[in-house]
Structure 1
Amino acid sequence: MNILQQSRNLVLAQIQKACQQAERDEHSVELLAVSKTHPSETLAEMYAAGQRRFGENYLQEALDKIEALKEFDIEWHFIGHVQRNKTKHLAEKFAWVHGVDRLIIAERLSSQREASQAPLNICLQVNIDAQDTKDGCQPAEVAELVTKISQLPNLCLRGLMVIPAPNNAAAFKDAKALFDAVKTQHAHPEDWDTLSMGMSADMSEAIAAGSTMVRVGTALFGARDYSAKA
């Protein structure tokens, strides 16, 4: 068993333990491997270890990996900040986009997603604890955005994504409360099933609060090499 397989097994065990402590089904939490700055060869090894969902932050780097690994059945997630001039590539190449925080971004993704493709899964990024350095819409804006975005064609609005400040477990509970409260605004409430929160250092707290998808990089791949950023 190689190091990546061992790392993935340890993370899955941590997810399982957190679910048990929260009295949740371990299959109710998905593992998204945050693979930014790691080369395609490393992703291929992690794929061989059983991982299928990969999250990327930098568009050009991600597009290069998507091309290099096109023979693999990978579910690609974009988890970086979404800029207006990059929506076309996101709409064409990804299965999920987590960083939507404005109606105009959702409208562009909807219009640029081919009708022949499966609907693009999206999450609203919410600045849940009012950090000056974080992107995301304000909690008070979420209900209206859900109402409008859930009606757009070629998109499937799945839920919320949050990145609280370190050591702020209370923000996870706030995110879960908001997630539950705005479901009634969704045109297709059966699609509202994803609360993307929790990373390597705080995934257990996020799962206890109700996370359904944890975004894990360091615990899977080790420290990142930022010199490799595209």
Structure 2
Amino acid sequence: MTQEEYKIYIDDVLRRVESARLRVSDYHIVKIIAISKYSTSAEIEKLYAIGQRAFGENKVQDLKAKANELEELPLEWHFVGNLQKNKINNLLDINPTLFHSLDSIELAYELQKKLKAKEMTLDALMQINSAKEDSKHGFMPEVAVEAYEKIKKECPNINLKGVMSIGAHSQDKNIIKKSFETTFDIYKSLDGASICSMGMSGDFELAIECGSNMIRLGSIMFNK
């Protein structure tokens, strides 16, 4: 695929995002994070050349490597993976724009301790397991609001910006929709939250229609 063909392809993806956005409201804004975990630095540069600026990785070592390789470009790096406690300092050394997957109180406390020691703050999203699936990380919906407020109160170096969830693993659109609606209802009840991150390559239009204002697109952005 030539660069011109790739641009036409991405324009079609953007049209789908725009159509879903307009079904919500003329004023609804949606940010795209291009998930580059299966892509090379060269592929990131190709997407950068046609306008994409925010990229996400799910492994700390990969995020560090790509951020170093592409340090000349004004990219916005997001960490979207499960964060092990022994990798916290490595992540903080990179200082990502946003940490998407704060999935437990224990992780929040450990993160707070390391942030305080480094005299740093970190913008983060709290991950909600809205579909209640064993394969997913995150807070159960019933405790999510209480946990969010607890982290805000007890972990002042973590700037909670909102919530993130992964849609239900199902072929049934209604089940997926229900999981998104659960997350959005929690998001609406949180004081000061500004980001509701839901939706990936296979379900982003439904997620936007359910209120998502940040989507995480991997394979579809890199034509894989």
TM-score, normalised with respect to structure 2:
0.88
Q: Show structure 1 runs of 5+ residues with no match.
A: 224-230
What's the % identity of the aligned pairs? 31
Distance in 2 (alpha carbons) for counterparts of 1:24 and 1:169: 22
User: Match of 1:139?
Assistant: 141
Deviation at 1:79, TM superposition (A): 0.7
1:107 to 106, 109, 114: 109
* Per-residue deviation, 1:109: 2.6
Aligned residue for 1:226? none
> Which of these residues, 169, 180, 198, is aligned with residue 177 of structure 2?
169
Q: Deviations over 1:17-58 (max 9, x none)?
A: 1111222425x1101101102111111111111111101112
SS of 2:202's equivalent in the other structure is coil
Deviates more, 1:122-131 or 1:106-115: 106-115
Deviation sequence 1:84-112 (CA, Å, 0-9, x none):
11111222211111111112222333333
What is the aligned length? 213
CA distance in 1 between counterparts of 2:181 and 2:58 reads 25
Q: Does 1:178 align with 2:186?
A: yes
**Residue 123 in structure 1 maps to residue 131 in structure 2:** no
Q: Report if aligned partners of 2:141, 2:182 keep a CA contact under 8 Å in 1.
A: no
Letter in 1 for 2:15: A
Q: Secondary structure at the match of 2:149?
A: helix
Is the Cα–Cα contact under 8 Å of residues 91 and 110 in structure 1 kept in the other structure?
no
For 2:152 and 2:26, the matched residues in 1 are separated by 28
CA contact (8 A) 1:169 1:205 kept: yes
Q: Which residue of 2 aligns with 1:6?
A: 8
> Alignment partner for residue 156 of structure 2, among 143, 153, 162?
153
Take 1:72 and 1:59, find their aligned partners in 2: how far apart are those partners?
19
C-alpha contact (below 8 Å) 2:199/2:208 kept by paired residues:
yes
Is 1:46 matched with 2:41? Answer: no
Structure 1 CA distance, aligned partners of 2:140 and 2:40? 34
Give the secondary-structure state (helix, strand or coil) at the position aligned to 1:110: helix
Structure 1 segments, 4+ long, off by >6 Å, are none
| Cα contact 1:176–1:210 (8 A) shared by 2 | yes
Distance change >3 Å, CA 149–CA 50, structure 1 → 2: same
Cα contact 1:100–1:125 (8 A) shared by 2: yes
